[in-house]
């Protein structure tokens, strides 16, 4: 299961996660470890677009009350899917699973929490604005290959 931050404009319009530019980076990363979008479950911490008022509205980071308001939905998704591996994309998703952890410290380093493994990654959008981040993301996601192999490919409980 991959968890991002929240829907952007295209995601809000289509009701599907990561269908815009960040989604193309995500697809590239998945392809790098032999996975397709259909092989994974992708969702977000917040379920509605966080944007500044104005024309055009601009994406902004989710506010704490928005994260709290959406938490039951994320919890319900986790309860239904019971993923053995959760890949967090960006600092907001990281905070939802490993509060207090700093992404610069833990990215690419799997963290065990009970039966679940959390793999923190930088957010794909970050790579769009910082070309140096793309190779870091490509390297960090490689660990997924080892994690999946260790589980014989079974990614759910």
Structure tokens that stand for 79 in this block: 């309860």
* CB atoms near residue 124 (< 10 Å): 24
Helix (H, G, I), strand (E, B) or coil at 53: coil
Per-position x/- string for 19-58, each x denoting binding to ligand URA as judged by CB under 6 A, each - no binding = -x-x---------------------x--------------
Residues 6 or more apart whose CB falls under 8 angstroms from that of 2 comprise 26, 40, 41, 42, 43, 86, 87, 89
Q: Binding to ligand URA by residue 8, rule CB under 6 A?
A: yes
Q: Binding to ligand URA by residue 62, rule CB under 6 A?
A: no
Please work out the total of residues on this chain that contact ligand URA, with binding judged by CB under 6 A: 12
Structure tokens that stand for 96 in this block: 């939802």
Q: Which residue number places its CB atom closest to ligand URA?
A: 4
Among 11, 62, 119, 121, binds ligand URA (CB under 6 A): 11
Stretch that binds ligand URA, among 18-26, 68-76, 78-86, 139-147 (CB under 6 A): 18-26
């Amino acid at each position: 299961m991959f968890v991002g931050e929240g829907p952007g404009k295209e995601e809000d319009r289509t009701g599907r996660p990561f269908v815009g530019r960040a989604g193309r980076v995500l697809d590239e990363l998945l392809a790098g470890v032999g996975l397709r979008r259909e092989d994974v479950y992708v969702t977000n911490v917040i379920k509605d677009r966080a944007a500044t008022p104005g024309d055009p509205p601009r994406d902004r980071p989710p506010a704490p009350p928005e994260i709290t308001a959406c938490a039951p939905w994320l919890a319900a998704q986790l309860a239904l899917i019971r993923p053995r591996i959760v890949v967090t994309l960006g600092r907001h998703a990281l905070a939802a699973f490993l509060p207090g952890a700093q992404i610069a410290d833990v990215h690419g380093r799997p963290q065990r929490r009970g039966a679940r493994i959390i793999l923190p990654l930088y957010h794909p959008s970050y790579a769009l604005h910082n070309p140096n981040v793309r190779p870091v993301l490509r390297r960090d996601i490689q660990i997924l290959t080892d994690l999946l192999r260790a589980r014989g490919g079974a990614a759910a409980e």
